[in-house]
Homo-oligomer: A and B are copies of this chain.
Amino acid sequence: MFVNNQWYVAGWDHEIDRSPLARVICGEPIVLYRKFDRTVVALHDACPHRLLPLSMGIKEGDNIRCRYHGLLVNSEGQAVEMPIRGERVHKSICTKVYPTVERHRFVWIWIGDAEKADAGQIPDFWPCSHPEWTFDGGYYHIHCDYRLVIDNLMDLTHETYVHQGSIGQHEILDAPIETHAEGNHVTVTRWMPGIDAPPFWRNALKKDGPVDRWQICHFLAPSSVIIDVGVAPVGAGATVEKHDQGARGFVIDAMTPESATTSHYFWGMARNFDIHDAGFTARFKKQQGGVFMEDVAVLEAQQRSISANPDLKLKAFSIDTGGVRARQVISRLIDAQGAKQLSDG
């Protein structure tokens, strides 16, 4: 159900601090906190003694002391002290530790075999931390399978109906799309050359006249979608491959599975225009949060219907090609880990 040996977003950089944060990721209860050196610790959220969540514990330096009997666990997950005279503890008494990396404004956690963790595999969210860009966003807990959110984001035609009261546009339905899959990366490209820029983009570009506009959805395994959107003046040389000539943004979406039917949804917008306009950032975050809440309502209703109709299958039209390809990548990765377990076992 979940893809193993992968990096998932565990939280926003600002969500995790010295105090413990409890979060269930891919079915595993995890406690997250920062050490004094600001690096992030992620431990299985159960004291190795009597399983009380460590997230209820008391921080002592970089260690955490269980709130029940006081077992002190270090940031490697090892028991280091039991506060009873003469009681010895062995480091073999321990809780699982998860590799973490802080990158591109998020804390990423490795779910799988710790020794295979390779920070090079973290999805490239470069616009979130590039000095000439700015980035902000939010978090929703959502009651649906994370793959339903991926389906949703890999097909923007849903905007017409789900977001008819906010950002829905009938024109989008007319623009042709190209879907391309290569390895674990799927793209859905909508290139709209020589059109009138809608007000939002005209303001961003600060220039009148016809533009080339694009929407390019990137699925990055196991569960991120980033959408490259923007406009460039006609004749500026923007191409599908390279288009930094105008105003550009990335809609950022990282869906971390919590359970089979619940997910953590981290979302935001990175942009390369008006990057010092904090008012714009705040207004846009509020608007984007409202739009994504419309998706949440639909996705949760879809999940309830899927659960209530176990015999019905989802059908796919051409608009679903991007989502279908993304699910194929996920299925292939899950199948591969099943085959691996069989050959190991």
Instruction: Please give the residue numbers on chain A whose beta carbons come within 8 Å of chain B beta carbons, in ascending order.
Output: 29, 45-46, 48-53, 56, 58, 65-71, 82-87, 89, 93, 151, 155, 157-158, 160-162, 173-174, 176, 298, 301-302, 304-306, 308-309, 312, 314-315, 317-320
Contact = CB atoms under 8 A, between A and B. Distances in A.
Given A51-B305, A301-B52, A302-B68, A84 B157 contact: yes
List of 9 A-B pairs having minimum Cβ-Cβ separation, nearest first: A51-B305, A70-B161, A52-B302, A85-B174, A46-B305, A53-B305, A69-B158, A50-B314, A51-B306
Nearest to A313: B51
A195 to B, nearest CB: 15
Given A67-B162, A162-B67, A29 B85 contact: no
Contacts of A158: 68-69
Contact of A67 (B29, B298, B315): B298
Nearest to A70: B161
A283 to B, nearest CB: 27
A210 to B, nearest CB: 21
B306 A65 contact: no
Contact of A48 (B48, B71, B315): B315
A85 to B, nearest CB: 5
Nearest to A303: B51
Interface centre among A51, A82, A86, by most chain B C-beta atoms within 10 angstroms, is A51
Contacts of A58: 161
B46 A319 contact: no
Nearest to A155: B69
A87 B157 CA distance: 12
Contacts of A70: 157, 160-161
B319 A29 contact: no
Nearest to A316: B49
A44 to B, nearest CB: 8
Given A58-B161, A85-B173, A301-B56, A309 B51 contact: yes
A160 B49 contact: no
A50 B173 contact: no
B317 A82 contact: yes
A52 B294 CA distance: 14
A68 B315 contact: no
